[in-house]
Structure 1
Amino acid sequence: MKIFKRILLLLAVIVIITVIYNYPKLNILSGYSAKSTASSVFLGERTLEFTDKTDNNFSPVNLATDKIDVKNKIAISSAFGLLTRKAIYREGLGAVLTLDDSDEKATYLVPKRLKADITTPFPYGNAPQKDTVFTNVNYNKLNKTVSSIFGKNDSRAVVVIYKDQIISEKYTDGFHKNSRILGWSMTKSIMSTVFGVLQHQNKINVQDVAPINSWQNDARKDITINNLLQMNSGLEWDENYNEISDATKMLFLERDMTKMQEEKPLKYKTNASWNYSSGTSNLLSSILRTQFNTHQEYLDFWYTDFIDKIGMNSMVVETDLAGNYVASSYAWATARDWAKFGLLYLHNGNWNGEELFNKDWVDYVTTPTATSNGTYGAQFWLNAEKQFKDVPKNMYFADGYQGQRVYVLPDEELVVVRFGLSHFDENIFLKEIIEAIK
């Protein structure tokens, strides 16, 4: 009997130690699931069942149990009943993880949006496009290529635009042209563009030193906005999503996601070592905040001077609890609206006759960061060293987790958008699309 009690005690101790050791992981696990569920259900307008079956079905997130409160727009996720996290949905701001009960009752400023143009044909408005049949396009080959990355590759949406016309478009079951889809790190390219618009308006110069007060008494005072945009500031950062890291702590445990990178020390010499950092992108979001007199102006500008101005009216860039746009990860929009973003760059910042920025900005974001081996510009990814060997060197793209992409191919007058849940052979995909229009 004593031996049995000792075994039970030992097992209890083992369970307690295991829970304590894994508690931080459970916090992030349930946090990811709650945030994903709230955004998918209330912003993406998908069902809880669909979300659990698709977006939350990978290990270890699938170990969480998810519930939703439809009336109050809250998602609740529990990790083995040991730790529960909540995410609330706020109209105009998207979903956010709460850190205490007061967050559910707090009031928030909401961005003012421009009215959608429903009379002008796509792409410059949201009315149906005026279809044009291009004699040089092999539509059978094109549609076969597009269809090839559905099914086993978990693609959700593909839109191909040639000379301002959608020439191929496909969605998997459960998605359609009005479905908002998360761009993940493509949000970084959205944020970079806000800098481009501000620079074109002569309100900022990205070559200036970053306006961060806490850096003024140490070596970080010489870091420029450009260094941050190019990810070569030299600041310490751990971008790892397979364990507890700077990136996961920032996204799932922080009230103000802009602070973690600001508080990091220099690890390398500035402008001498490239290090991909979602923390840097959120720090850049806070730098944008300093350019405006009020928080309301900061919230509005992204939409009034850029996003809504080019008719990306479906887009919602989610904010953290402190009201900062989560520039690293959380922009949602339809595939067609993401394609408009690509078109803005294809046209060198000119949107239907109005210049939001000019070719100088396009040249800037597509100039390789010296320390990135030709793969990275200013929050855009590049093909400068022919990483995609059968695709032109001047192709560049916005890149998000699991293969979210907006490709811009200037020579071919092409924009290609792809959304999905897994990676695919991008080189072959783009190569065959290019071949279909020659």
Structure 2
Amino acid sequence: MKKTIKIVVFLLLVSIAYIGFTYYPKLDIITGYASKNEASVIFLAHRTQNSAEVQDNNFSPINLAKETVNQNEKSVSATVFGIKKRTAVYREGLGTVLMIDGVKDSLKYDIPHRDFKRINLPYPYGDLPQKDTVFTNVNYNELQNAVENAFDKGENYQKKTRAVLVVYNDHIIAEKYAEGFDKNTKILGWSMTKSITSAVLGVLEKQGKVSVNQSNLFPEWKNDERSKITLNDLLHMNSGLEWDEDYNNISDVTRMLFLDKDMSKTQLNKPLVGKPNNSWNYSSGTTNLLSGFIRNQFKTHQQYLDFWYSALIDKIGMHTMMIETDLSGNYVGSSYGWATPRDWAKFGLLYLHNGNWNGEQILNKSWVTYSATPTNGSDGKYGAHFWLNAGGVYPDVPRDLFSCNGYQGQHVFIIPSKNVVIVRMGLTEEPDFDFNAFLKGVLASIK
């Protein structure tokens, strides 16, 4: 018996040593992700702790973390075998922020002013139910089959779709949610938030406050070649700045999201390693750099916080949306936008209608065209913080499709030639979810 216990203890110690050796350098990232994600799911999206741990954090190596929830403080702490504790705290109006060792939180911070005024118009332009409308050119049975096929059936858990919404001619013609989700559930869009950041710059462009061709964007760049980088280069992810977007290892992006107090400065200090407008490289650091650029357009931090909502988000009735901030109070425009699928669809409709929202021009039509125009070196895949189908990524779908894309298969697809916006939220990407087949099936139902 004693020999058996010794063997068990030895194997346990070996296992702990192996995990420690393998994962210790990543513990900041693992515990940071686990605590931040779970806190947002619980306190922002109002889902259960069990739901967060079984669904959102249940993948390797994040599932190594053990989370502890403090309801009174609205915080979540995470450790791996009691090692490297990280804590995330929910701030009303700003979302969840991940605390960083050695950084003091004064708990004094500005909160954006929101306009939640109800509008007595049907969806999407107001808060009333949409009018019952049947389109004779829509095969509803075929549409329903295409939507049903996007979800798992029985005990199969591969597609992991959480929501599908199809809007045609400004009417929801199909809507389905997985168990535990409904039309009122806020879902993290991850990098779909990048397109929101681009749109904020589009509003500033319409107001004549910025130009895509302007250079000398930051004082820190004035004495070197980076001064030649234009706003256009940053919007196209074509700045030539050094950046490593690797989520499987300790990299520029993981250090930024889970270790940096001010994410707007992470890429600011990176050297130029390529030629601007000739070095396409997808970078979350670039988007948060743009968030910092937007901040510089305002005299006060309060004005910066308010503008995203007053000029865009609340302006088009995306009242469930929240863009979370970093520890310095800057919007994490690369990754942390939450909203219901219906509100994500509203953003798609703004672009479907060339920047016009129920008669008011929020963005210049030229900005929408610019957003959906391929940049150099992307093989027709990328525009100005939007993904494109110009290069035929989805071969059976119209080439004019452009979209907001996010980690784990979050998408707002905008298809002007079909007058359609399609939202799909989930936990899987290709090849576990066949987006080409999904889109083909939905669009085939609209004759």
TM-score by length of 2: 0.93
After the TM superposition, which of the residue ranges 288-297 and 385-394 deviates more from structure 2? 385-394
Deviation at 1:272, TM superposition (A): 1.2
1:404 matches 2:405:
no
Return the alpha-carbon distance in structure 2 between the equivalents of residues 209 and 235 of structure 1: 14
Give 1:59's aligned residue: 60
- Relative to structure 2, which stretch is displaced further, 11-20 or 131-140? 11-20
Tell me, yes or no, if structure 1 residue 385 matches structure 2 residue 391: yes
Q: Which amino acid aligns with 1:425?
A: D
Match of 2:417, SS state, is coil
Identity of aligned residues (%): 55
Query: C-alpha displacement at 1:21, in angstroms?
Result: 7.1
Contact 1:210 1:225 (C-alpha < 8 Å) held by counterparts:
no
Taking structure 1 as reference, are residues 157 and 116 closer, same or farther at Cα in structure 2, changes over 3 Å only?
farther
2:70 matched to which residue of 1?
69
1:329 to 335, 345, 351: 335
Kindly state the Cα deviation for residue 27 of structure 1 after the two structures are TM-superposed.
1.0
Contact preservation (8 Å) 1:210, 1:287 = no
Question: Which residue number in structure 1 is paired with residue 25 of structure 2?
Answer: 24
Distance change >3 Å, CA 102–CA 266, structure 1 → 2: closer
CA deviation vs aligned residue, 1:214-241 (integer Å, no higher than 9, x gap): 1111111100111001001000000000
The separation in 2 between residues aligned to 1:22 and 1:343, in whole angstroms, is: 43
What are the within-5 Å matches in structure 2 for residues 168-207 of structure 1?
168-207=174-213
Q: Give the direction of change, closer, same or farther, for the CA distance of 1:12–1:338 in structure 2 (3 Å limit).
A: closer
Residue 108 (1) aligns with residue 114 (2): no
* Candidates 265, 271, 283, aligned match of 1:277: 283
- Runs of 4+ in structure 1 displaced over 2 angstroms? 11-24, 100-105
Q: Could you list the per-position Cα deviations for residues 118-150 of structure 1 after superposition, in whole angstroms to 9, with x for gaps in the alignment?
A: 522100012211121101100111011011011
* Contact 1:116 1:126 (C-alpha < 8 Å) held by counterparts: no
Q: Does residue 435 of the first structure (1) align with residue 441 of the second (2)? A: no
Task: Output the amino acid matched with 1:426.
Answer: F
Partners of 1:128 and 1:352 in 2: CA distance: 16
Describe the superposition over 1:354-379 as per-residue Cα deviations: whole angstroms up to 9, x where unpaired.
11012100111111001111100000
* Counterpart AA for 2:195: S
Give the conservation status (yes or no) of the 8 Å contact 2:356–2:363: yes
Q: Secondary structure at the match of 1:77?
A: strand
1:98 maps to what in 2?
99
Residues 212-251 of structure 1 mapped to structure 2, 5 A cutoff:
212-251=218-257
1:351 counterpart residue number: 357
1:160 alignment partner, SS class: strand
Q: Which runs of 5+ in 1 are unaligned?
A: 1-7
| Cα distance between partner residues in 2 of 1:15 and 1:95 | 31
Contact 1:383 1:395 in 2 (8 A): yes
Residues 168-215 of structure 1: CA deviation (Å, up to 9, x unaligned): 000000000000000000000000000001101111112101521111
- Contact preservation (8 Å) 2:381, 2:388: yes
Letter in 2 for 1:311: G
Please state if 1:415 is matched with 2:436: no
**Inter-partner Cα distance in structure 1 for 2:15 and 2:438:** 51
Aligned to 1:5: none
Letter in 1 for 2:73: N
Deviates more, 1:109-118 or 1:135-144: 109-118
The answer to whether the aligner puts 1:133 opposite 2:139 as a matched pair is no
- The one-letter amino acid paired with 1:129 is Q
What's the CA shift for 1:114? Answer: 0.9
Residue identity matched to 1:374:
G
| CA pair 430-16 structure 1, distance change in 2 beyond 3 A | closer
| Separation in 2, partners of 1:181, 1:52 | 15
CA contact (8 A) 1:145 1:429 kept: yes
Question: Which letter maps to 1:27?
Answer: D
Q: SS in structure 1 opposite 2:97?
A: strand
**Alpha-carbon distance in 1 for matches of 2:93, 2:226:** 35
CA–CA distance in 2 between the matches of 1:69 and 1:346? 43
- Mapped contact 2:86–2:99 kept (Cα < 8 A): yes
Matching residue within 392, 396, 400 for 1:394: 400
Residues 299-318 of structure 1 correspond to what in structure 2 (within 5 A)? 299-318=305-324
Q: What is the alpha-carbon distance in structure 2 between the residues aligned to residue 104 and residue 54 of structure 1?
A: 30
The alignment yields a C-alpha RMSD, in angstroms, of: 1.9
The CA deviation at 1:431 is 1.2
Equivalent residue for 2:84?
Answer: 83
Contact 2:217–2:229, Cα closer than 8 Å, also in 1: no
Task: Give 1:258's aligned residue.
Answer: 264
Q: Is the 8 A contact 2:267 2:289 kept in 1?
A: yes
CA distance in 1, matches of 2:191, 2:361: 25
- Name the amino acid aligned to 2:176: K
Q: Give the aligned residue type for 1:62.
A: N
Answer with 109-118 or 316-325: which moved more.
109-118
Structure 2: runs of 5+ lacking an equivalent: 1-8, 153-157
Residues 1:297 and 2:297 aligned together = no
Structure 1 counterpart of 2:281, one-letter code: N
Alpha-carbon shift at residue 429 of structure 1 (Å)? 1.1
Letter of the 2:134 partner, please give it: V
Structure 2 CA distance for aligned equivalents of residues 400 and 13 of structure 1: 38
Q: Residues 22-73 of structure 1: CA distance to partner in whole angstroms, max 9, x if unpaired?
A: 4330111000000001100000101111100000000000010011111110
Deviations 1:50-109 (A, max 9, x none): 100000000000010011111110011111101110000001100010114875551110
Supply the AA of the counterpart residue of 1:76: S
Query: Alignment partner of 1:86: what SS?
Result: strand
